Amino acid sequence: MAIYKSASWTRARLLAASVPLLAIPTLLAAGPASAASGNVALVAYSTPKPAYAALISAFNSTAAGKGVNFSQSFGPSGTQATAVVNGLPADVVNFSLAPDMNKLVKAGLVSASWSQGSTGGMVTNSIVSFVVRKGNPKHIKSWADLVKPGVSVITPNPFSSGSAKWNLMAAYGAQLAQGKSKAQATAYLTQLLKHAAAQPSSASNALQTFLSGQGDVLLDYEDDALYAQRQGEPISIITPPQTILIQNPIAVPKNATNPAAAKAFVSFLLSTAGQKIWGKQGYRPVLAKVAAQFSFPKPQKLFLISSLGGWTKVNKVFFDPQTGVIAKIEQGLGASTSSG
């Protein structure tokens, strides 16, 4: 896949200004004021902001998108989902992972059938990658390298960030893929989090933290890392031998104020044209015919969240704020387990 460079700010630096507080998503106007019928309120997790700039521009050039204006809110996935449940207006919601979409299902805001489409309700794919300093001075190649003495890791807080949950499940599943037991895989998570130098609120804030000089390796969405690399940041991207396929859901809430335009926009995002733009932005397309046009790295072992029991089970076992495996580890380390 081609890598494009520019001198513009990094996504993380842009988002640092747009998400100053964890509990208060920032609304960003994406065009001149218009009648309510011509506006689509997009609420999404933190990383796809630059991709949406390109996608909205392309959509506006189509007949369906002509004259449609957008308001946009980006932030930690869990926090964004909670904000929508609490009343943040949304015509289109795009989260990091399915459990955040299910928060809206439980609140009666999204249909329980949201995942029944041809792509399973997903708009993009990605993987968990390692981001290291240019030249990889600590010689990070595998999961085992992350817990070696003297190596510090940056990963978001899993109780606000969907990215963090993907990261930790990638780490856990990688241990199982290497033939280790569940107990050994859990022990690895403890060691990994002990090596965490910081746990910012979102993937984009974690990227900013890493680019500011903290840590030796960042666990991140592949697409986020590719964006930073396109901006000329001095990083290298390592594809771990074993990693997880990230699947990002999208839906139009039942109470959307402009459902026709919202559905047209989602259709565009899932079209061949839209998926090509996602691919150029560093996301793995969900349409196989489009994905085949890109040359993304192939891990030795790529597994799905379903191989670990699925998100319903994983959320309960690992990420329950009181009883989950991760909560207990984080509490022992003094990290926050407050959910968004």
Phi, psi dihedrals of residue 326, rounded to the nearest 5°: -70, -40
E-strand ranges in 84-156 read 92-94, 122-133, 153-154
Task: Answer whether residue 37 shows pLDDT above 90.
Answer: no
pLDDT of residue 89: 97
CATH number at residue 81: 3.40.190.10
In angstroms, the CA 73 to CA 89 distance is 10
In angstroms, the CA 126 to CA 281 distance is 11
Q: Classify residue 6: in a domain, yes or no.
A: no
- Do both 166 and 313 map to the same domain? yes
E-strand ranges in the chain read 26-30, 39-45, 69-75, 92-94, 122-133, 153-154, 196-198, 217-221, 235-238, 242-251, 301-303
- Do both 325 and 192 map to the same domain? yes
Percentage of the chain surpassing pLDDT 70? 88
Domain range for 133 is: 126-245+298-333
Q: What is the pLDDT of residues 117-140, one digit of tens each?
A: 999 999 999 999 999 999 999 999
Q: Classify residue 1: in a domain, yes or no.
A: no
- Do both 146 and 234 map to the same domain? yes
- Do both 174 and 322 map to the same domain? yes
Percentage of the chain surpassing pLDDT 90? 85
In this prediction, residues 30-41 reach a mean pLDDT of 57
- Do both 216 and 316 map to the same domain? yes
Beta strand 196-198 with 153-154 is parallel
Given 276, 291, 306, the domain boundary residue is 291
In angstroms, the CA 61 to CA 68 distance is 10
Q: Classify residue 4: in a domain, yes or no.
A: no
pLDDT of residue 22: 32
In angstroms, the CA 97 to CA 41 distance is 20
pLDDT of residue 295: 96
Cα 248 to chain centroid, rounded: 7
- Do both 116 and 142 map to the same domain? no
Q: Classify residue 339: in a domain, yes or no.
A: no
Residue 339's pLDDT band, with cuts at 50, 70 and 90, is low
In this prediction, residues 229-256 reach a mean pLDDT of 97
**Locus of tokens 């396929």:** 245
DSSP 38: G
Q: Classify residue 87: in a domain, yes or no.
A: yes
Q: Classify residue 303: in a domain, yes or no.
A: yes
- Do both 177 and 260 map to the same domain? no
Number of domains in the chain: 2
pLDDT of residue 27: 37
Residue 165's pLDDT band, with cuts at 50, 70 and 90, is very high
Q: Classify residue 2: in a domain, yes or no.
A: no
Task: Answer whether residue 29 shows pLDDT above 80.
Answer: no
pLDDT of residue 335: 73
Task: Answer whether residue 166 shows pLDDT above 80.
Answer: yes
pLDDT of residue 24: 33
pLDDT of residue 6: 34
- Mean pLDDT across the chain, nearest whole number? 89
- Do both 183 and 144 map to the same domain? yes
In this prediction, residues 21-33 reach a mean pLDDT of 36
- Do both 94 and 144 map to the same domain? no
Could you give the C-alpha distances from 158 to 165, 177, 201, 215, in angstroms and in order? 5, 22, 8, 18
pTM for the structure as a whole = 0.86
Q: What is the pLDDT of residues 71-125, one digit of tens each?
A: 999 999 999 999 999 999 999 999 999 999 999 999 999 999 999 999 999 999 9
Q: What is the pLDDT of residues 7-24, one digit of tens each?
A: 333 343 333 333 333 333
Q: Classify residue 60: in a domain, yes or no.
A: yes
Specify which residues 237 forms β-bridges with.
Answer: 131
